[in-house]
Chains A and B, each alone.
Chain A
Amino acid sequence: MGEILLTSELKGERLLLAAGGSWTATHASELEALVDGVAGEAAKARNVSIDMAGVREFDTFGAWLLERLTREWTSSGRETVIVGLPAHDRGLLEEMHGVNREPATTPARENKIVSSLAAIGQAGAGVGRGLMVFADMLGALGVATARMLVRPREFRFTSTVHQLDRVAWQAVPIILLITFLIGGIIAQQGIFHFRKFGAELYAVDLVGILILREIGVLIVAIMVAGRSGSSYTAELGSMKMREEIDALRTMGFDPIEVLILPRIIVLVIALPVLTFLGSLAALYGGGLVAWLYGGMSPDIYIARLTEAISLTHFKVGIIKAPFMGLVIGVVACSEGLRVKGSAESLGLQTTKSVVESIFLVIVLDGLFAIFFASIGM
């Protein structure tokens, strides 16, 4: 039942083929080999007859392979007849007769060097486009903010509070935990290495200054980019895919005002708050490690800390935070709006959003370092 057959016999100028078995999808690959094998045998024949009487099952795969065979022979001027095919299978064969008539369009193969150069060029242009999108979003956001200041009653207060709960409040535990651990690790490393010079006490300066100026805000910004930035991109992206954003626009709402402004404002508020909490947790973690690992009593740690750090260090860290929130928000939202129809594009833009915002946060931190150094903070 399952075996498939195609036997050939050459009688003078006449090639006789007899087919049998199941000419169906399940056997398509063996069938193709058989059909291709027999195709060359017609070289000497002038006319061909294919007897399909032995075929038990026949579907589009079988029909197409039969059609392919006869088409090849007919086009080279051989007369081909099919006999013994049941009437209901003839309809299927006729259906196949019309398909694949157009020449197959094979995409032109590109030169490897050219295509890799093109890829570099496109990536470069992509960076430029990305910057334009960023600037565009920043501008649109400015306009929306201005409009909101003129008509403050139109501000989406409920939405903002809801986002604040998600982005700030619900992030507190994980931020506290991570910064606590980072503070502990910095203290341990500081004590371990400074001990060689007998300067263990300076580990407290290290912890205090590093955390307040740099690490606190950076860790929080990176966490928020990964946690909230990605969810902004995915949310807006899937809303874009399901035409929800277009729907908003046609109802006379500005998506920037309704969806994006509250989200970004929330990030600008949340980052300083989370940075403050994170820095507290890190200093606490540092103190705990200094006590348990370095044998430094909490009194000494606190006394040393108040000597080592000043309000300036705190300000340097906290001033940076809202700007980082702004960068994360703008990148996340503009990448979300760039999502196209496919699920793959949603994933791609979400990845891009997180990578870009972390990158920009670090670049921004560098720029701030130069700025603060030049004004002597």
Chain B
Amino acid sequence: MADDAVIKVRDLVVGFGDQIVLDHLSLDVRGGEILGLVGGSGSGKSVLLRTLIGLLPKRHGSIEVLGVDLDKANELERRALERRWGVLFQQGALFSSLTVRQNVQFPMRENLGLSPRLLDEMALAKLEMVGLTSQDADKFPSELSGGMTKRVALARALALDPEIVFLDEPTSGLDPISAGDFDELIRTLQQTLEITVFMVTHDLESLYTACDRIAVLADGKVVADGPITAMLESEHPWVKTYFQGKRGAMLADQRISA
């Protein structure tokens, strides 16, 4: 296991009632990589993500993020840690009573104590980085399209220049072109900002274009992890159907011939 891991998960058990969702799961995310987490519906991808960011309680095991053990951290250390990561929720989770600009400014306003001018400039800078214009800044979340909502949510996740960004199905609900653009955007941002990206996804295309490494979740464990080539060679039945099924094979052919 690598030493440069920014997220270290060991022996994690998470469940609801009698149902065990994550069963002694271990996973490392290395600094500066884009890790794509895949798995069937209901395999616990989102549960893992929500446990990592502290929204769900775990039953057993340890989670270490950026060198901080989540169990041992006190209130203050936790809050400091939360400022070093950004989260993009599946539905965007934008604050519906704030404008786009105010949504992006919210974390900065609460944490940094900036002047109004710098606050405005930084919010616009972040929005422009994710491909939005100043015309969109004064819209309310209910007036945005699905793709724009995701972009604003990404801008808000990046507001404090985090070291890790958690993305929960960033391209779900987007058309293939927008999804492709979004993957590229994540890739470029990850390179310029030098962040680590932990991405839960269903989108095969994203796995090919955006991710450095892929971890496959099945039966509550990580059953395979490695680059896309390793996935194509994997013998695990679920991994095989996923990557070498009809859609998977088509994409693989395109990529190899291209």
Q: Please report A residues at the B interface, Cβ cutoff 8 Å.
A: 24-26, 28-29, 32, 59-61, 64-65, 68, 88, 91-92, 95-96, 98-100, 102, 104-105, 340-345
Chain A residues near B129 (CB-CB < 8 A): 60, 95, 99
Q: Are B125 and A99 in contact (CB under 8 A)?
A: yes
Q: Cβ of A343 and Cβ of B96 under 8 Å apart?
A: yes
Pick from B22-30, B33-41, B138-146, B248-256 the stretch touching chain A. Answer: B138-146
- A26: chain B residues at CB < 8 Å are 112
Question: Closest B-chain residue to A95, C-beta based?
Answer: B192
Contact check, B140 vs A341: say whether CB atoms are below 8 A apart.
yes
For the complex of A and B, list the 4 residue pairs with the smallest distance between their C-beta atoms, beginning with the closest. A341-B142, A344-B97, A342-B96, A59-B161
A99 to B128, CA, bound (A): 6
B114 at the interface (CB under 8 A from A): yes
Tally inter-chain residue pairs, CB-CB below 8 A: 73
B121 at the A interface (CB under 8 A): yes
B126 touches A60 (CB 8 A): yes
Q: Do A100 and B142 have beta carbons less than 8 Å apart?
A: no
**Which A residues are in CB contact (< 8 Å) with B128?**
98-100
- Of B112, B118, B126, B193, chain A has the most CB atoms within 10 Å of the CB of B118
Contact A68 B121 (CB under 8 A): yes
Beta-carbon contact of A341 and B115 below 8 Å: no
User: How far in angstroms is the closest Cβ of chain A from B86?
Assistant: 12
Q: Which residues of A contact B143 (CB under 8 A)?
A: 341
The residues of A that contact B113 with a CB separation of less than 8 Å are 29
Subset of 13 A-B contacts with CB under 8 Å:
A29-B118, A32-B114, A60-B122, A60-B129, A60-B161, A60-B193, A61-B161, A96-B125, A99-B128, A100-B124, A104-B134, A342-B141, A343-B97
Distance, CA A29 to CA B161, complexed state (A): 15
**Set of chain A residues within 8 Å of B112, measured between Cβ atoms:** 25-26, 28-29
A342–B124 touching, CB < 8 Å? no
Q: A341-B141, A341-B143, A343-B97 are in contact. Are A92 and B192 (CB under 8 A)?
A: yes
Q: Do the beta carbons of B124 and A340 come within 8 Å of each other?
A: no
| B69 at the A interface (CB under 8 A) | no
Q: How far is the CB of A114 from chain B (nearest CB, A)?
A: 21
Cβ–Cβ contact A60 & B134, under 8 A: no
Residues of A within 8 A of B178 (CB): none
Query: Is there an interface contact between B97 and A342, defined as CB atoms closer than 8 Å?
Result: yes
A53 to B122, CA, bound (A): 24
Q: Which residues 85-139 in B have Cβ within 8 Å of A in the complex?
A: 96-97, 108, 111-115, 118, 120-122, 124-126, 128-129, 133-134
Bound CA–CA A29/B113 (angstroms): 7
Q: Is B160 an interface residue (CB 8 A)?
A: yes
The interface residues of chain B lying within 8 Å CB-to-CB of A68 are 121
- The answer to whether B11 has its CB under 8 Å from any CB of chain A is no
Instruction: Report the bound CA distance from A100 to B143 in whole Å.
Output: 23
Whole-angstrom CA separation of A98 from B131 in the bound complex = 11
B194 interface hit (Cβ, 8 Å): yes
How many Å lie between the Cα of A28 and that of B121 in the bound state?
A: 12
Please tell me if the beta carbons of B125 and A60 are within 8 angstroms of each other in the complex. yes
CB distance from A312 to the nearest CB of B (A): 51
* Residues of chain A contacted by B161 (CB below 8 angstroms): 24-25, 59-61
Expressed in whole angstroms, the Cα–Cα distance for A32 and B192 within the complex equals 22
A24 to B133 Cα, complex, angstroms: 24
A68-B120 Cα distance, complex, nearest whole Å:
13
Give the residues in chain B near A59, CB-CB below 8 Å. 161, 193
Task: Collect the chain B residues with CB atoms within 8 Å of residue A88's CB.
Answer: 194
A64 CA / B108 CA spacing, docked (Å)? 15
